[in-house]
Amino acid sequence: MSSSNSSSSSIRNPYGNSSNTFYTSRKNNCEFEYLDVRCKCDLPAPCQEAWKEGTLDPGRRFFGCSQYKNPSKKCNFFVWADPPYSERAREVINVLKSKMQKKEDALNNVGVDVNFCERKMLVLHEEVCKLRRKNEEAEELLKKLMRANCILKKLLAVAVIFVFMFWLVIYDDCSCSFISVVGVVGC
């Protein structure tokens, strides 16, 4: 906006400094030339955008007292920088604002879902680590059991050989005495 069109009259400062100093404000994307607007406190009145819930012209720029957050010091200075919006512009802005809010809500829900999934992944990772440790312990136990099984097989083989040899000795002794009793020759 330039100072020569009809909107420059809406930025006239009725409370003091009426200098013709022009500058550009980039706060809240209010990029245009305007008079050095000062509030009743004689402080620069920053350009702001009206986005408060229930605002008739959302996004409309205005100049207000820089002390607006301090109720004891603010002077309630307020001047619109932009002309009023048409009814159609208000409808479109409100529809777009509503759509944007729905998208932000959906995005927040996705963020909640992502946070839930991240926490679930951490829990599952811990469970996987526990299962890996148990698996390692089970593998160690299996190795010990296999070594014990191998030792038992060797002991069993030795025992079988010992029993067989013992049986041979006993059978041999018994068969000789049995044969001699029966009278069979040759032992």
Reported residue count of the chain is: 187
Can you tell me the distance from the alpha carbon of 113 to that of 187, in angstroms, rounded to the nearest whole number?
92
What confidence tens digit (pLDDT) does each residue in 22-50 have? Answer: 333 444 455 544 567 888 888 888 888 88
Which range marks the domain in which residue 164 is found?
A: 102-169
Among candidate residues 28, 30, 27, the one with its CA nearest the CA of residue 1: 30
Domain presence at residue 11: yes
For residues 52 and 109, membership in a common domain is answered with no
Helix, strand, or coil (residue 86): coil
One domain for residues 64 and 108: no
Is 93 exposed, middle or buried, given 0-12, 13-18 or 19+ CB atoms closer than 10 A? middle
Residue ending a domain, choose from 85, 115, 133 = 85
- Encoding tokens for residue 143? 């190795």
Q: Does residue 174 or residue 22 have the better pLDDT?
A: 174
Residue 170, pLDDT above cutoff 90 = no
Within this chain, do residues 111 and 156 fall inside the same structural domain, yes or no? yes
Q: Are residues 46 and 20 in the same domain?
A: yes
* Backbone angles phi and psi of 56, in degrees to 5: -65, -40
Instruction: Give tens-digit pLDDT for 74-120.
Output: 788 888 888 888 989 888 988 998 899 899 998 888 888 888 889 99
Number of domains in the chain: 2
Q: Record the pTM.
A: 0.42
pLDDT for the residue numbered 67: 84
pLDDT at residue 15, as a whole number: 39
The pLDDT, as a whole number, for residue 137 is: 96
Query: Residue 53: is its pLDDT beyond 80?
Result: no
